[in-house]
Amino acid sequence: MKKQVINFSEKFEKFSEKWAPKIIARLNDYHFKLVRVEGHFTWHVHEDTDEAFIVLEGELGIDLEDGNIILKQGELFIVPKGVKHKPFAKKECKVLLIEPIGVINTGNVIGDQTAPSDIWI
């Protein structure tokens, strides 16, 4: 078994683009992804999986059809599968995502903000 410590700050230094998740680890059939966010993302749904958002730095909003939530550093929110949502951040926010391997960041919507789902850093 390979022992590896992953430092979030060091990984974030390796990329600057927004809304483009980067894989940092695999646990069974799940990927841990870091993403920088700023501005508004697209409304979308993940029909087959929940999506976990953990705010490492900054403040993340998530619009839902029945309102919105605001996550601050150190907070976690899970968007249940089938729930339409739109993340946003007024200033750059650093987030850890946990989701099954192969999940497309824009879910059921393919467009300008769709990022590759297989980029490791």
What is the three-state SS of 83-119? CCEEEEEEEEEEEEEEEECCCCCCCCCCCCCCCCCCC
Q: What are the backbone angles phi and psi of residue 78, rounded to the nearest 5°?
A: -110, 120
Is 119 within a domain? yes
Is 17 within a domain? no
Is 72 within a domain? yes
- C-alpha 35/C-alpha 40 separation (Å) is 14
Q: What is the mean pLDDT of the chain?
A: 95
CATH number at residue 50: 2.60.120.10
Global pTM reads: 0.93
Is 8 within a domain? no
Is 104 within a domain? yes
pLDDT tens for each residue of 1-24: 678 899 999 999 999 999 999 999
- C-alpha 114/C-alpha 72 separation (Å) is 25
Is 64 within a domain? yes
pLDDT tens for each residue of 39-64: 999 999 999 999 999 999 999 999 99
Domain count, the chain: 1
Rounded (10°) CA dihedral 61, 88, 49, 77: -20
Mean pLDDT of the 71-78 span: 98
